[in-house]
Amino acid sequence: MENKGRKVPEVVIRRLPRYYRYLAELDRSGKTRISSNALSEKMGVTASQIRQDFNYFGGFGQQGYGYNVKSLLKEISQIFGINDGYKAIIVGAGHLGHALANYSGIQKRGFSIVGVFDIDKKKIGQDYNGITVRDMSEAEAFIKENDIDIAILTLPKNAIGEVADKLVEYGIKGLWNFAYVELKTKKPVPIENVHLTDSLMTLSFKIKQKSE
Amino acid sequence: MENKGRKVPEVVIRRLPRYYRYLAELDRSGKTRISSNALSEKMGVTASQIRQDFNYFGGFGQQGYGYNVKSLLKEISQIFGINDGYKAIIVGAGHLGHALANYSGIQKRGFSIVGVFDIDKKKIGQDYNGITVRDMSEAEAFIKENDIDIAILTLPKNAIGEVADKLVEYGIKGLWNFAYVELKTKKPVPIENVHLTDSLMTLSFKIKQKSE
């Protein structure tokens, strides 16, 4: 599948993992194809929107047949580099770092976590799901030797800017940030900020609105 | 501040926590006001979009002055029910449940976690950040006695549908779901699904696109 070279809008990129999730569910339940209308209904997106979205990547539907679940999953996997075996480290071995080291969803999406780092002597040496927590001072050598792609940042927000810049210097290609800041690095790399409390605030809003 | 009664579009609701985050940063750094243009630049949203967003809630800006940081924070807090003291329980005392029980961001946004539940005898009785993990069979009484608003679902996805329906039956008003499903309940309540791997997939896409 060729990417047609057009810049893919952020909003389209954000919709694809949802398609992927639903298609993976269909696949597990043994469904082999889905009509454009059924996909549209499930996703809450118009059928023409779905066609438009997929057209950015060459379009995968077939008139009158709909979509083949397995091949669509495969195409989306390729688009997202899910089969490219990206390697990640976790920086910050607190509770959230520990939880992410044990989070099977990451591995299932084809990413492997191969290292965990911290500066806290009490955490260094501990075993997190088969990975030994290392001293942060070893990060540079580890990243270079193991060709690490992604750093998962689960450290306090006051320390994060400096650490992120160093990691990028060492060769990290993208950051998955869980600290409560809009992270930016001196040398720009792709960054995804996960702000858990944003969605909690949204939930709270909806509960409040319903009870008024 | 009165909500003018118009239905607030989802996209606006989703932008407000970002405004809130940035304003909280300004407030911490001692800034008392911000111009509409500066807020716009920082948020990557046009000044007129910001005015439109705030207009859903009555509008808080003042011509020629911009926005008062503290009062804007207070308004957004009220809109989101942040000062309403919503009480939450965590259902699923695995690594992620443990991490969320320790996640200060939840308390800082005014929510309190008052209970943790599981069915695993090995976890029941453990202390999670001062909260004793209880047997799931106690959930009904606990929710009713303590007027719990929110259930944070960190349990495996195969168990989640049934559990969610029961929690709603017991009186839970909203669900914050971390399992890899688009959760729906028989009796509809507000649900926010947090799909961590969606943002990891987006990050992967951006890294891949950059390296091509």
Convert the pLDDT of each residue in A180-205 to its tens digit.
888 999 999 999 999 999 999 999 99
- How would you classify residue A92: left for phi > 0, otherwise alpha for psi between -120 and 50, otherwise beta? left
- How would you classify residue B110: left for phi > 0, otherwise alpha for psi between -120 and 50, otherwise beta? left
Reported ipTM: the value is: 0.90
Confidence class of residue B136 from pLDDT cuts 50, 70 and 90? very high
CB A124 within 8 A of CB A134: yes
- Chain B's closest residue to A95, CA to CA, is B99
Tens digits of residue pLDDT in A24-39? 889 989 999 998 888 8
Largest CA distance in chain B: 62
- The rounded Cα A107 to chain-centroid distance in angstroms is 11
The alpha-helical segments, DSSP class H, found in chain A are 10-28, 36-43, 47-55, 69-79, 95-101, 104-108, 139-146, 157-170, 196-211
Hey, is B41 helix, strand or coil?
Answer: helix
DSSP B62: B
Closest C-alpha to B139, from B166, B177, B99, B174: B166
CA–CA distance, B94 with B105 (Å, rounded to integer) = 19
Is B53 in the A-facing interface, judged by CB distances under 8 Å? no
Cβ <8 Å between A197 and B106: yes
DSSP B7: P
Which of A81, A95, A209 comes nearest B204 by C-beta?
Answer: A81
Over pLDDT 70: what percentage of chain A? 96
Confidence class of residue A6 from pLDDT cuts 50, 70 and 90? low
Hey, is A184 helix, strand or coil?
Answer: coil
Tens digits of residue pLDDT in A122-154? 999 999 999 999 999 999 999 999 999 999 999
Would you state the pLDDT for residue B3? Answer: 46
CA–CA distance, B103 with A164 (Å, rounded to integer) = 21
Cβ <8 Å between A174 and B99: no
In the block, residue with structure tokens 């996997």? A77
Contacts of B192 in chain A (CB under 8 A): 199-200, 202-203, 206
Q: How many CB contacts within 8 angstroms connect chain A with chain B? A: 189
Which of A80, A94, A191 comes nearest B204 by C-beta?
Answer: A80
DSSP A51: H
pTM for the complete prediction?
0.89
In the block, residue with structure tokens 């194809």? A33
Sign of CA dihedral A28, A29, A32, A34: negative
The one-letter amino acid code at A153 reads L
B103 vs B43: which has the higher pLDDT: B103
Is B28 in the A-facing interface, judged by CB distances under 8 Å? no
Instruction: Give the length of chain B.
Output: 212
**CA distances for B84 relative to A47, A160, B27, B108, angstroms:** 40, 31, 21, 13
Burial class (CB in 10 A: 0-12, 13-18, 19+), A4: exposed
CA–CA distance, A3 with A19 (Å, rounded to integer) = 18
Is B90 in the A-facing interface, judged by CB distances under 8 Å? no
Is A16 in the B-facing interface, judged by CB distances under 8 Å? yes
Contacts of B211 in chain A (CB under 8 A): 173
Burial string for A52-85 (b: 16+ CB within 10 Å, else e) reads ebbebbeebbeeeebbbbeebbbbbbebbbbebe
DSSP B84: G
Residue A81 in this model has a pLDDT that exceeds 80: yes
Most B CBs within 10 Å, among A127, A203, A209, to test the B interface: A203
Would you state the pLDDT for residue B177? Answer: 97
Hey, is A114 helix, strand or coil?
Answer: strand
CA–CA distance, B206 with A7 (Å, rounded to integer) = 11
CA–CA distance, A45 with A208 (Å, rounded to integer) = 27
Locate A209 and state its tokens: 């609105």
Which of A82, A180, A207 comes nearest B81 by C-beta?
Answer: A207
- Chain B's closest residue to A191, CA to CA, is B203
Is B155 in the A-facing interface, judged by CB distances under 8 Å? no
Mean pLDDT of B27-40: 89
Sheet strands (E) in B25-105: 33-34, 67-68, 87-91
Tens digits of residue pLDDT in B142-199? 999 999 999 999 998 888 999 999 999 999 999 999 998 889 999 999 999 999 999 9
Hey, is A190 helix, strand or coil?
Answer: coil
Which of B82, B95, B210 comes nearest A190 by C-beta?
Answer: B210
Q: What is the mean pLDDT of chain B?
A: 90
Is B142 in the A-facing interface, judged by CB distances under 8 Å? no
Would you state the pLDDT for residue B6? Answer: 64
Most A CBs within 10 Å, among B14, B22, B26, B205, to test the A interface: B205
Locate A144 and state its tokens: 């270079």
- Chain A's closest residue to B183, CA to CA, is A22
A121 vs B40: which has the higher pLDDT: A121
Cβ <8 Å between B86 and A194: no
CA distance A162 to chain B (A): 18
CA–CA distance, A96 with A90 (Å, rounded to integer) = 10
Residue B101: other Cβ atoms inside 10 A: 22
Beta pairing partners, A118 = A135
Locate A178 and state its tokens: 């869980």
